[in-house]
Amino acid sequence: MGDFKLTTYEENEAITNRLLETGAKVGADAWQFRVKNQTPHCKFGEQGVCCRICSMGPCRITPKAPRGICGCDAHGIVGRNFLRFTAGGAATHSDHGREICNTLYHAKPEGPYKVKDPEKLIRIAKEWDVETEGKDIYDLAHEMAVLAMGEYGKVFGYQRWLKRAPQHTQELWEKAEIAPRAIDREVSCAMHMTHMGNTSKPEALVRQALRSGMSDGWGGSMAGTEFSDVLFGTPKPIDTEANLGVMVAENVNIVVHGHDPSLSEMICEYADDPEMIAYAKSMGAKGITVSGVCCTSNEVAMRRGIPMAGNFLQQENVVLTGACEAIVVDVQCIFPALGPLSKCFHTKFITTSPICQMPDSDFIRFEADTAAENAKSIVKAACENFKNRKPELVYIPDVKHKATVGYSVEAIVKTLDGVTNSQVDETGTTKPLLECITSGVIRGAVAMVGCNNPKVRSDLYHIELMKKLIANDIVIIASGCSAQAAAKAGLMDKAAKDLCGAGLKRVCELADIPPVLHMGSCVDISRMMILASELAKDSGLNISQLPVVGCAPEWMSEKAVSIGNYVVATGIDTFLGVDPYVSGSDQVAGWLTEGVRDWVEAAYTVELDLEKLGDMMIERIEEKRAAIGI
C-alpha cells in the first residue's frame, strides 16, 4: 500500500499545458487566456454595488455617490443582487427537477424510461399519503409525477419534503418565515421583491434568499434527486475511474456533459448496444467509450460506473485531446466556448435542450417521447465522426485514478451498518455512523461541494482541504465538481485510507470505503440534507449541534449560492473560499455571516486563505463536539 500516490494539481496543470500546446497549433482559444483578458475584474461588480435593474441606471455606489438615482444605498443594492443571484440558482436546479418529474410522467413498462426503483417510489408515495395498494407501478409513477410537478405551483401550504426534517428544524423554518411555499413562487417572489422600488432592506432580502434556496434544496433539487433514483436506480457503491486518461484512443469517444441524467442515461444505454458497437467498428474504431464532465457525469458514474473525464474547468480539455468524437450536452455549466473550440477539431458539439442553445453546435432536440431515437442518432453521428479525426492532434494524457462512487444515503446507511460489529442494525439507521462520531473514531463530517473557479488554482482548494480533513479523522461527503476533483486526484480510491488519521483509516478498512464519499451531483446535495436530518433524528440532537459543516471552496455558479443558502438554512455552518459579491455592504455580509444564526442556528464563513479555511472548519467541528460533550 506504501506506493499509493495522489495525482497532484501540478501534474494536472502540466497535462493541461500540454493540451494547450495542441490548442495553439489549431488556433484554439481557452479559458486560461480569457481569464487574462478579463482581469482585473470590475471592482463594483466584485463588491456587489452595481445596480442595473432599472433604466435610470446603471448606478454604482462610491463614497462620493452613496445612493443610486432612486435613493437605494449599497446595502439595498448588494442585498438585491444577492437575492437575484440565489433566485437564478434556485430556478435552475428546480427546473432540472421539473424535467425529471416530466420524464417520470413519460415512464412506460416498455421503456425507454422505466421505473428502476419501485420500492423507492412506493416509499415516497406513502410519505405523501398517496394510496399505493394494488396500484400499477406506472400508474403510481404518473400520479406521483403530476403531484410533484404540482409542488412548483401549489396554491397553499409548504413543500411536502419539509416533513423529512426534524421537528425542531421545521419549527425554526416556520418561525423565520423561510419554509418554502410553491417552488416557482419563491423564485417569482425574489424577482418581485428586487424589482425597482420594492425591497431595499437587507434583512428582508437575506430572508427571501434563504427561502428561495430552501425551495431548491427541499423542493426542486430534492424532486430531481429522488425521482432520478426512481427512474434510473438509487446509487450503490460502484467502481469507476476518473481523469482524462479514461478516454480511449482506439474507440469512438462520446463525452456527456451537463446535468440532466435523462439524456446521458439514454446515451449510455445505446452506446452499449451491440448494434451500435458494430457500427463503431465498421467506422474503424474498436468500440465506444462514454465518459462524462460535470454533474451529468456524476449521475452516470454513480449509477453505471461510467468514467469521469473531468470537472468544470476541464471541459475544454476533453476536446483538446483531439480524440473526442462528440461532446453531448444537456443543461448548465456548459461553456459557450465549446462551439468555436470544437470547430478547431473534428469534434461534434451537440446541444439537446431548448434551455441550452448555443452557436456553433448541432442541435438535436431531445424529448422524453423520442428519447430512444434521439440517443441513437447522437451515438451514430459520433461513430460516423471517428474517421474525421486528425491523428496528429490526438493526445490522451495517461492519467487516471480508480474511484469507488455511489454513496447515496441508502448506500451509506447500509455500508456503515457493517462497521460496528456489536449491533448490526437491521432497520438501517444512521446509528452506526453516529457511534463512530460520538466515540471520536470519526471527529465529524464535511460536505465538500461546488465548482472550480479560475480565481482559485483549479482543484487545489478541494484537494488540499480534503487531505487535511481526512488526516484529522473527518470524513468527507462530496458532490458536484468537488467530488470529481477528489476522484481525479485519487481520494476516492480505497487506498487513500492511508492518508487518513488512525480512526478514519480504521473505519475505511472495516467498512471498505474510501475516505471521500461520492454522493452525486449538485442536485444531490439534497441527499446531504436528508442524511443530516436522519443523523439528528437518530441522535436526538438538532442538526446545528452535529459536528458537521459544509464547504464550497471553489464555487462559481448561482446554483452554488442557492445551495449555500439552503445548507445554512438547514442548520449547517457553511464555509466559502470565494467571495459572494457582498463585501460592498457590511450589513448584508453581517446578516449572512452572523445575523441568520438567530433564525436557523447556522451561518456563512467566507475565508479566502486555504490554510485558515481548513483550520476554521476543524475548529468548528471540535467546538460542536465540545458543546455536546463528546
Q: Which residues bind ligand SF4 (CB under 6 A)?
A: 51-54, 56-59, 68-70, 72, 77, 196
Rounded Cα distance between 391 and 323, Å, is: 8
Q: Which stretch binds ligand BF8 (CB under 6 A): 40-48, 111-119, 554-562, 589-597?
A: 554-562
* Cα separation, 211 vs 83, whole angstroms: 10
Closest approach of ligand BF8 to the CB of residue 129, in Å:
32
- 169 vs 200 by CB, closer to ligand SF4: 200
Name which of ligand BF8, ligand SF4, none residue 559 binds, using a CB cut-off of 5 to 8 Å depending on partner kind. Answer: ligand BF8
Select the binding partner of residue 23 from ligand BF8, ligand SF4, none (C-beta < 5 to 8 A, by kind): none
With respect to ligand SF4, which residue has the nearer C-beta, 70 or 137? 70
Closest separation in Å from C-beta 309 to ligand BF8 = 13
Footprint on residues 510-549 left by ligand BF8 (CB under 6 A): 521-522
Residue 68 binding: pick among ligand BF8, ligand SF4, none (C-beta 5-8 Å cut-off by kind):
ligand SF4
Give me the DSSP letters along 449-465: -----TTS-TTHHHHHH
Could you tell which of ligand BF8, ligand SF4, none binds residue 481, using a CB distance below 5 to 8 A set by kind? ligand BF8
- CB proximity list for 590: less than 8 A, separation 6 or greater: none
Part of the chain binding ligand BF8 (CB under 6 A), chosen from 189-197, 350-358, 359-367, 553-561: 553-561
Nearest distance from residue 192's CB to ligand SF4, in Å? Answer: 14
In the complex with ligand SF4, which residue's Cβ is closer, 35 or 56?
A: 56
450 in contact with ligand BF8 (CB under 6 A): yes
Under the criterion CB under 6 A, does residue 481 sit at the interface with ligand BF8? yes
Return d(Cα 127, Cα 121) in angstroms, integer: 10
* Helix H or strand E encompassing 488: helix 480-489
Q: Which does 58 bind (CB under 5 to 8 A by kind): ligand BF8, ligand SF4, none?
A: ligand SF4
Closest approach of ligand BF8 to the CB of residue 480, in Å = 3
305: burial class by Cβ within 10 Å (0-12, 13-18, 19+)? middle
Residue 309 or 522: the one with the smaller Cβ distance to ligand BF8 is: 522
Cα–Cα distance for residue pair 557/334, rounded to 1 Å? 12
- Residue closer to ligand BF8 by CB (options 523, 536) is 523
What mask of x and - would describe binding to ligand BF8 in positions 124 to 143, judged by CB under 6 A?
--------------------
Contacts of 407 (CB under 8 A, 6+ apart): 235, 237, 415, 477, 513, 517, 518, 519
Which cell numbers hold the place of 21? 500546446
Provide the minimum distance between the beta carbon of 574 and ligand BF8 in the complex, in angstroms, as a whole number: 15
List 83, 436, 446, 560, residue binding ligand BF8 (CB under 6 A): 560
CB 383 within 8 A of CB 288: yes
* 233-292: contacts with ligand BF8 (CB under 6 A): 259
Shorter beta-carbon distance to ligand SF4: residue 66 or 354 = 66
Contact call for residue 550 and ligand BF8 (CB under 6 A): no
Cα–Cα distances in Å, from 619 out to 439, 614, 623?
Answer: 18, 9, 6
Q: Give the residue carrying C-alpha cell 500546446.
A: 21
The listed partner (ligand SF4, ligand BF8, none) that binds 52, CB under 5 to 8 Å by sort, is: ligand SF4
Instruction: Output the DSSP codes for 79-119.
Output: HHHHHHHHHHHHHHHHHHHHHHHHHHHT--TTSSS--S-HH
522 contact choice in ligand SF4, ligand BF8, none (CB below 5 to 8 Å, kind-dependent): ligand BF8
Which CB sits closer to ligand BF8, 451 or 535? 451
200 within 8 A of 72, measured Cβ to Cβ: yes
Indicate the residue among 162 and 294 with the shorter CB distance to ligand BF8: 294
Indicate the residue type of 158.
Answer: Y
Q: Could you tell me where the beta strands, DSSP code E, fall in 284-437?
A: 288-293, 308-310, 326-329, 348-351, 362-363, 401-405
Residue 53 binding partner per list ligand SF4, ligand BF8, none, with a CB distance cut-off of 5 to 8 Å that depends on partner kind:
ligand SF4
Dihedral through CA 381, CA 387, CA 390, CA 396, nearest 10?
70
What's the rounded Cα separation, in Å, for the pair 548 and 596? 18
d(CA 11, CA 30): 19
Residue 338 interacts with ligand BF8 (CB under 6 A)? no
Q: Considering only residues 480, 503, 577, 580, which one is a binding residue for ligand BF8 as defined by CB under 6 A?
A: 480
Residue 85 found at the interface with ligand BF8 (CB under 6 A): no
Quote the DSSP letter at residue 283: T
Note whether 324 binds ligand BF8 by CB under 6 A.
no
DSSP for 536-594 reads HHHHT--GGGSSEEEEETT--SHHHHHHHHHHHHTT--EEESS--S-TT-HHHHHIIII
User: Could you tell me which of 372, 101, 413, 96 has the C-alpha nearest to residue 235?
Assistant: 413
| Smallest distance, ligand SF4 to C-beta of residue 461, A | 34
Strands, E assignment, 115-272: 238-242, 252-257
Residue with Cβ nearer ligand BF8 (474 or 560): 560
Nearest CA to 618 among 474, 501, 475?
A: 474
Q: Considering only residues 215, 253, 557, 570, which one is a binding residue for ligand BF8 as defined by CB under 6 A?
A: 557
Choose one: 121-129, 149-157, 489-497, 556-564; the region binding ligand BF8 (CB under 6 A). Answer: 556-564
Residue 180 or 258: the one with the smaller Cβ distance to ligand BF8 is 258
- Interface region with ligand BF8, contact rule CB under 6 A, candidates 150-158, 200-208, 455-463, 555-563: 555-563
Q: What angle do CA 412, 520, 316 make, to 5 degrees?
A: 150
Choose between 53 and 552: whose C-beta lies nearer to ligand SF4.
Answer: 53
Q: Residue 402 burial by CB count (10 A; 0-12/13-18/19+): exposed, middle or buried?
A: middle
Residues contributing to the site for ligand BF8 (CB under 6 A): 259, 294-295, 312, 333, 450-451, 480-481, 521-522, 557, 559-560
